[in-house]
Amino acid sequence: MPLTVLNYHSVRNNGELPLSVAVRSFRWQMQHIANKGYRCVSLEEGFYKENGKDRRTIPLTFDDGYLDNYTEAFPILLELGFTATFFVTAEFIEHRIIPWHKRPGQGEAMSWGNLREMARAGMRVGSHTLSHSRLSEIPAAEAMRELVESRVMIEQRLGAQVLSFAYPSGDFTKEVMGMVPEAGYAMAAALALPPGLMEDRYSIPRMGISVRDGRWRYRLKISGAFCPMPVQQMVNFRQRFFNGTKMKKKMEKLENAQKMHRNGKIRGES
Q: Are 136 and 146 in contact (CB under 8 A)?
A: no
Please give the CATH topology (third level) of the domain spanning 6-211: TIM Barrel (3.20.20)
Q: Are 170 and 190 in contact (CB under 8 A)?
A: yes
Q: Are 196 and 184 in contact (CB under 8 A)?
A: no
Q: Please tell me whether residue 132 adopts helix, strand or coil conformation.
A: coil
Q: pLDDT confidence of 100, banded at 50, 70, 90?
A: confident
7-36 confidence digits (pLDDT tens)? 999 999 865 677 899 999 999 999 999 999
Share of the chain above pLDDT 90, in %: 62
Can you give the residue ranges of every domain in the chain?
6-211, 214-270
131-190 confidence digits (pLDDT tens)? 999 999 999 999 999 999 999 999 999 999 999 999 999 999 999 999 999 999 999 999
- Predicted structure pTM score: 0.81
Nearest Cα residue to 234 out of 259, 213, 201, 209: 259
Q: What pLDDT is attached to residue 252? A: 56
Q: How far apart are CA 7 and CA 146, in angstroms?
A: 22
